[in-house]
A = this chain, B = another copy of it.
Amino acid sequence: MGTTQPDTVTELKYWHLKGVISEALESEFSVGEILPNERELAARFGVARATLRQALDQLELEGRLQRRRGVGTTVAPPRVGVPVGSPRQMWPGEDDDGWEAVDAVVAAPPAAVARMLGTDAAEPVHRVHRSRSRNGQPVAAELIYVPGVSAPGFSRGDAATGAVRARAVLHELYRLPLEGQDRTVELGSARAEDARELDRLPGAPVLVVTTRYVSGGRTAAVAVSTYRADTCRLTLDADTAVLAS
């Protein structure tokens, strides 16, 4: 037993490959440049295509690569920073945040949301849909759940549709005193609808930001924002505003 050999632990092929390609990206390629196709890369490195893809998967997850079916694999630009922490407590859309209202419907919320709202899971609520772009690319989709009690002035049968209706529902919120809000961030995978909107495949990794708005001692609304994890870096600039002044 004397020979406690260092034990090189046989580096995994895809792990090694990832490192090699990662270095090549920095030294031999520039942003936007297109890589050789997967079949050729696999042949060049002497591995099966599935193994090569395992390495590319990770690099794409880290935002280093961008793959588009029918086109090819390109070197991704650095992640875009997306401000997420409102410097001051505000209702969604009250001060012109980066979001664009799309539409609003009445629907039953997911169980997790109903739990936060304290409503019955089968009880329909307003669901406001907003989207967010950056540099012309969609980066996030959002669904805001607003119980009827939080929008007493809005009649469900209101004929308005689309963005007009969405803004009308949100405007009802502004009449309530916003007493607090809290947020969570977690990893998720894009539902089919999100994927379409974010120009990704279903199941693509996303950062899910859940915001709970508190008014009158209860949860007045819940916003679930879904950010593309490959292209986004969420920035939470807290009170740097204090410093900037």
Residues of A near any B CB (own CB < 8 A): 12, 15, 18, 58, 61-63, 79, 81, 84-85, 89, 179-189, 202-203, 205, 207, 214, 229-230, 232-240, 242-243
Please determine whether A240 and B182 come into contact, CB atoms closer than 8 angstroms: yes
Distance in angstroms between the alpha carbons of A185 and B243 in the assembled complex: 21
- Taken together as a complex, chains A and B put the C-alpha atoms of A243 and B229 apart, in Å, by 32
Task: Give Cα A67 to B179, complex, Å.
Answer: 41
Residue in A12, A186, A189 whose Cβ sees the most chain B Cβ within 10 Å: A186
From residue A147, how far is it (CB to closest CB) to chain B in Å? 19
Known: A185-B234, A186-B229. 9 other contacts (CB 8 A): A18-B203, A61-B189, A62-B189, A63-B187, A81-B184, A181-B240, A182-B240, A187-B207, A236-B236
Query: CA of A81 to CA of B183 in the docked complex: distance in angstroms?
Result: 11
The 3 closest A-B pairs by CB, nearest first: A180-B243, A187-B229, A183-B236
A184 and B233 in contact (CB under 8 A), knowing A189-B61, A203-B15? yes
State whether A235 touches B182 (Cβ < 8 A): yes
Contact A184:B242 (CB < 8 A) given known A15-B203, A189-B58, A205-B205: no
Chain B nearest CB from A229 CB (Å) reads 4
Main secondary structure of the interface of A (DSSP, over half): mixed
The residue from B179, B188, B233 contacting A186, defined by CB atoms under 8 A apart: B233
18 contacts between A and B (CB under 8 A): A15-B203, A58-B189, A61-B188, A62-B188, A79-B186, A85-B236, A85-B238, A180-B238, A180-B243, A181-B240, A182-B236, A183-B237, A184-B233, A184-B234, A185-B234, A187-B229, A205-B205, A214-B243
Evaluate contact between B179 and A232: CB separation under 8 angstroms: no
A202 CA / B236 CA spacing, docked (Å): 28
Q: Would A235 and B189 be within 8 Å (CB), given that A205-B61, A243-B214 are in contact?
A: no
A181 adjacent to B238 (CB under 8 Å): yes
Inter-chain contacts of A84 with B (CB < 8 A): 185
Given contacts A62-B188, A186-B232, A188-B62, contact A239 B180 (CB under 8 A): yes
Which of B62, B205, B214, B236 interacts with A185 by CB under 8 Å?
A: B236
Contacts of A58 in B (CB 8 A): 189, 203
Q: Are B214 and A184 in contact (CB under 8 A)?
A: no
Q: How distant is the Cα of A233 from the Cα of B9 in the complex, in angstroms? A: 32
Nearest Cβ distance between residue A225 and chain B, in whole angstroms?
A: 13
